[in-house]
Structure 1
Amino acid sequence: MLRELFERVLSDFLSEKKKYLALPSPRQFASFPLAEVVVNALPDAIKRNAHLEAKYSVKGSVGIGNIVEIPHVCVFNSDITQSATRGYYLAYLFDASFNHFYLTLLQGWTQYEKAYKGQAPREKIKSASKAAQRLIANNGNFSLDPIQLGGKKLGPGYELGCICSIKYHKEALPTDKALIDDLRSLLSIYKDLQQIVGNDILDYFSSEKAVPAVKTTPIDSPLNWKLTSISSYTPEFVGPSTYFTQPNKKMDRRHGIVVEALASELSKGNLAVGNNRYIDLAARSNDGTRIFEVKTSSSKNSLYTAIGQLVLYSQNGIGEDMHDLYIVFPKSVDTRTAGILLRYGIKVITYRWVDGAPKFSELPQ
């Protein structure tokens, strides 16, 4: 249903708009059937399929009075904005030629026009978009490259205000499920950004608060987390998936299987497990906390990455009882490397696959 609605807009909007503009004045939007699709049908389908929280509203627009070059459907967090002119929000934007559309995390352009003069609005919104990109944790699905909408009026403002996006081509629209999965992923990024910049993005990036960004990172940022904040465990996605940019290429997400099995084993002892967006697994007992970084590859790059992550984690939690740091690896490291790691308080736990499940070497109690 959702895919078909987007497909209809891409296929019929320009031809229906031409017919509408050929009607004698005064014209009524009731004579433009695509208005119903963008303003009502698409928002209803998105709300119905995405199961959004009450604070989110979905609004579509083809313009007020005149039909715009770039219609849009926006998802607003009512704490931040309920208008496409201010704040920041998610937006489906159709390009002026209707060959593709984007799902974007977008800033309202009009707020910058009102706050600054001359060329300053363009410079300020572009700068804010770049700064916001450095604060979000992109999972790889979303592009940080500029979007290309065309159009003479709203298009340039949308392009400058885009923080990240995913592009859908007219000839290769994804399934309803893929569209909703992308929306949920971007909603997660939207929530994370709100934790950092608050509800007023214009104020945040026009003030000194935007300079020392580390001081205002969310509680689960690797630069500002507390062991006491990791109070629950959330399983990761596991199983087969595809790369968005290469839909015919399959990948198997096994990382979550290893983390889930490790959490299960540690929970059998006197350890309370938890995780967050950055920490694969934390296990706490009365005598301290252990942090685990799980890798599914035994490459040097995986090893170096794990070391860097654990060293970073070890510098946090000042005043808390950081007990041990562990790399969880699919094979053992050589004796010399293990000795070097121990100097930095890092131990190695290995695992092997038995009947499709990871089996671990000796685990901490």
Structure 2
Amino acid sequence: MATKEIADCLKALVPLATASLGLEHLDVDVDGGGRRGSYGPVPWVRIFSRHYAPTAQEGFYLVYLFAADGSRVYLSLMQGTSEFRAGKRRPAKDRDLIASRSVEARTSLRSMAGTSSDAENIDTIDLAADVLSSVGSESRRRIHNYEAGTVLARCYNSRQLPAGDGLFQDVIDMLPLLAYLYREPVALDLSRLTEAAGRAPQDVVNRAGQGVARLRQGRLLDPVIRKAIEVRAEDLAEADLHKWGWEVDRVGAYNRGYDLDCRNPDGRTLHVEVKGTQSHGDEVVLTPNEVRHNQGATGCVAEHALYIASEIRINHDNGVMASDGVGRWLRPWVIQSDDLIPTEYAYRPSEPS
């Protein structure tokens, strides 16, 4: 099936899938790319939220990636893997940073009762870049970045791609994982799923229900509560920044390593990492991406600040509402290695010799 056919099929199915999961507000769309000779030798079809991943360079999204030798296709839950360099969007140079972000996201998904280790999901993909003899180093880097940027994926033989109902099933399975990384709640609407599933409604309903159940069995806070705390903390930080004359964009969804991108009239820029908590805020959790950005691994020249909103209260009387909060600024903010406490390590054992 050509990429255009897949994209057309998904454009019809994705609105039904998002409606069935209560995710219409993500404003999900489908587009395609690649197929540009040696510059873009890996074709792709992307399922993305216009809010959280407006371009293929930032945020998390689902994408069908076609191996360069035409042998297989992956449905990959992945992240943007490019950066703005020398006036153009180019493949990011720091592949270790991309891989660390993938590990971070995969670790988060593991909290959902084994989601990332399901039999149908794999952690690594191979897009057969080595078979391409005519592409340049930048195109080859782009392909390897796609591989490093994959959080988890499903693999299909390119001659045995699922039909429309199969595509629908796999998208239904993967969308809750994408929503989890967006910290968005999933509310399964069985009637909409049954209507949308067509020929095999019960199988789709059963499997989708299992996927949503995993979201509710995780060790982490319910996504609704986590989102409410995050938004409350950002509201408090943004109020201070506006009072001090800064313009603020919320960019946490784009996986840049900070939450607020700020500018003031004299041309200075400030990157703010925001942490919200119901505790006293004596200790906060930083991701590898946030640490690397703060310590200069990305070459960022902006000022850096940390805002901690502690003692946020959650009220369940009318849905989930976050209120109160005691704000504290660390500015300038420079992370010292001695201040970091390791809590876990991602380990991939090598094959026995």
Q: TM-score range by the shorter chain?
A: 0.3 to 0.5
Higher RCO structure (Cα 8 Å, ≥6 apart): 2
Q: Structure 1-normalised TM-score?
A: 0.43
Q: Structure 2-normalised TM-score?
A: 0.44
